[in-house]
Amino acid sequence: MNKFGGDWTKKKIEILVEYAKAYLKIMAKYPHFHLLYFDGFAGSGIIVKDKNIDIQLTIGAARRIVELDNPKQFDTYYFVEKVKKNADLLEKFTKYEFPQKNILIVSEDCNLKLVDMAKYLKSPKGKDTKVLAYIDPCGMQLEWSSLQSLKSLNVDMWVLVPTGLGVNRLLNKNGNISTGWLKRLVKFLGMSEVEIKRYFYFTESIETLFGKEIHESKVKNAIEKSAILYRDRLNEIFSFVTLPFVLRNTKGTIMYHLFLASNNKTATKIGNDIIKKFNRIN
């Protein structure tokens, strides 16, 4: 079972479900499309908040989406979950309980499956398929190159970006980032090391006892800057990207930003309305 999350865990699921309901309502008018729901970091179906103190179970996004069927359901559900134990549990909570639905569960890396899905959508078989995708990693597992494969395709994608919990933590104060962390940032942002440094750091010349020294310093608002950067990058792949829903921990620190990206303007209009509503009550 997945063990994580604060209140943001519930909020991001409610946002997704509200959007999926609106999406299915609209798509009920276009029965010739094959509707595919793709969840790249699907989890186990159940989320345990803190089993040591006060057990609190949250039904995961995968199961919540499978439950939707009025006025329409998805034609296919494709769940990717790398950890086999989680994938097996998810199977119990979805496939076994809804045997009449077309549910596929694979224990694989989401990055590989995004590329496979893109190939399918570009093939004659996938030409009438529309996708609602949910990309909900806990860390920086999503690679930019996998997202690039979705360019110009019929995909509405909700993506959770670990701006505070991921990017900001890897960018240390003096720019002395370890090789491993830099590699992770390069894969995640799809930018070169030089571009990343130029964006998040500035150099200043400081007068010391022994003359001038050049210091590299991190920008103050790195979390917000990483959200702006990621949104701009998404806009290079998708025509429209919503405002972010900001996910904070109990101390008010920003952990993640959630975006909807799509090539359909109406999709992001609906997404923005939902996000604004949730940001107001955040």
User: For the window 82-121, what string marks contact with ligand SAM as x by the rule CB under 6 A?
Assistant: xx--x----------------------xx-----------
Select from 202, 265, 189 the least CA-distant residue to 231: 189
Phi and psi for 222 in degrees, rounded to 5? -60, -35
Task: Give min distance, CB of 130 to ligand SAM, in A.
Answer: 21
Q: Which of residues 43-72 bind ligand SAM (CB under 6 A)?
A: 43, 47, 60-61
| Residue found by looking up tokens 């960018």 in the block | 171
- Helix, strand, or coil (residue 207): strand
Among 38-46, 69-77, 118-126, 174-182, which window interacts with ligand SAM (CB under 6 A)? 38-46
Q: How many other C-beta atoms lie within 10 A of the C-beta of residue 89?
A: 19
Among 79-87, 162-170, 185-193, 224-232, which window interacts with ligand SAM (CB under 6 A)? 79-87
In terms of phi and psi (left: phi > 0; alpha: psi -120 to 50; beta: otherwise), the region of 17 is: alpha
What tokens does 108 get? 């694989």
Task: Closer to ligand SAM by CB, 34 or 187: give it.
Answer: 187
d(CA 183, CA 226): 16
| Residue found by looking up tokens 């940032």 in the block | 185
**What number of chain residues touch ligand SAM (CB under 6 A)?**
19
1 binds ligand SAM (CB under 6 A): no
Task: Give min distance, CB of 216 to ligand SAM, in A.
Answer: 32
Residues that bind ligand SAM (CB under 6 A): 2, 13, 41-43, 47, 60-61, 80-83, 86, 109-110, 136-138, 141
